[in-house]
Amino acid sequence: MQPCPLGMPRVGSGKCLPSSGIRLPEVTTARPHDLLRVTGPAALPADAPAWATHALSGTPWVVVRRDRAPDGYLPVGVRGASRSERYGTFVAAADVLGTAPPETLTAVPGRDLPAIQALRGLQSLLDDVGLAWGPTGSVGFELATGHPAATSTSDLDLLVRISDLRCALPALVSLDHAFSSVECRVDCQVETPCGAAALTELVDGRPQVMVRTPEGPRLVDRAAMP
């Protein structure tokens, strides 16, 4: 099996914001779980639900989804006030004002919630294993935006990036062991060249692993993974 491409680095020709004169890169590609600051409700299609419009009025941030998008657009999701309020759509690259990849959210100020406390406690270990990592989900959203998205019952969602499963496996095993002793539930996704897989599936030795790709989930033979 040939490795599947996993997104491309962010690129940009730059655009000038009339209100400030500050020149910012225009984001034309992004990776799943990257957070994007957008122009606000105007970035949404006309048929967007009212709650999504309201959400972007106060916190104009969206998260990149794992999907294909038309040229000049990015697949994103909008978070509402409750778990039932999730809206998948596409935004124009020209409406993106900035990005916050998970790897940039490793400083952990904020509230003393179980998920955030767990992240503080795991930070040294995550840094020491030598893999690119960052928080996603409600904790990542809160750290990027300052909006109180996490709750007392939130899981700690993490993303770890690897380029070679065999080389990274010892580090992944140590992370899985550490996560099992944390009081807060830790849901760790590992981005591989073929897509994203659950940490628990990568370390338990099963012959096939469920991998999330832009075309949907698929089973991949462990032996064929780079």
Q: Which residues of 200-211 are buried (b: 16+ CB within 10 A; e: fewer)?
A: bebbeeeeebeb
Strand, coil or helix: what is 66? coil
- Does the active-site annotation cover 128? no
Instruction: Note the pLDDT tens digit of each residue in 128-160.
Output: 999 999 999 999 999 999 999 999 999 999 999
DSSP designation for 223: G
Instruction: Note the pLDDT tens digit of each residue in 165-223.
Output: 999 999 999 999 999 999 999 999 999 999 999 999 999 989 999 999 999 999 999 98
Look at residue 26 in the predicted model and tell me its pLDDT.
58
- Verify that 65 and 143 share a domain, yes or no: no
Quote the crossing angle between the two packed helices 114-128 and 165-179, to the nearest 10°: 140
> For residues 63 and 51, what is the distance between their CA atoms, to the nearest angstrom?
16
- Does the active-site annotation cover 157? yes
Asked if 196 and 66 touch (Cβ cutoff 8 Å), the reply is yes
Look at residue 109 in the predicted model and tell me its pLDDT.
79
Look at residue 13 in the predicted model and tell me its pLDDT.
30
pLDDT above 80 (res 119): yes
- Verify that 82 and 139 share a domain, yes or no: no
- Verify that 115 and 153 share a domain, yes or no: yes
How buried is 174 (Cβ within 10 angstroms: 0-12 exposed, 13-18 middle, 19+ buried)?
middle
Residues of the domain holding 211: 102-224
Q: How many CB atoms lie within 10 A of CB 19?
A: 6
Look at residue 226 in the predicted model and tell me its pLDDT.
85
Residue ranges of alpha helices (H) inside the chain are: 50-58, 114-128, 137-145, 165-179, 199-203
- Verify that 112 and 219 share a domain, yes or no: yes
Look at residue 27 in the predicted model and tell me its pLDDT.
65
> For residues 183 and 64, what is the distance between their CA atoms, to the nearest angstrom?
29
Catalytic residue among 47, 71, 95, 157: 157
Instruction: Point out the domain boundary residue: 77, 100, 123.
Output: 100
- Verify that 124 and 159 share a domain, yes or no: yes
- Verify that 106 and 91 share a domain, yes or no: no
Q: Quick one: pLDDT band at residue 8, thresholds 50, 70, 90?
A: very low
Look at residue 4 in the predicted model and tell me its pLDDT.
39
Residue 122 tokens, joined: 């795991």
Between residues 81 and 19, the one the model is more confident about: 81
Residue 103 tokens, joined: 């790897």
Catalytic residue among 127, 128, 155, 221: 155
Residue at 3 is within a domain: no
pLDDT above 90 (res 21): no
Asked if 33 and 40 touch (Cβ cutoff 8 Å), the reply is no
- Verify that 85 and 167 share a domain, yes or no: no
Residue at 120 is within a domain: yes
Q: What is the mean pLDDT of residues 117-133?
A: 96
Domain count, the chain: 2
Look at residue 28 in the predicted model and tell me its pLDDT.
65
Look at residue 107 in the predicted model and tell me its pLDDT.
87
Instruction: Note the pLDDT tens digit of each residue in 73-117.
Output: 999 999 999 989 999 999 999 999 999 999 999 988 778 999 999
> For residues 185 and 29, what is the distance between their CA atoms, to the nearest angstrom?
31
Backbone angles phi and psi of 75, in degrees to 5: -80, 125
At 163, which amino acid appears?
S
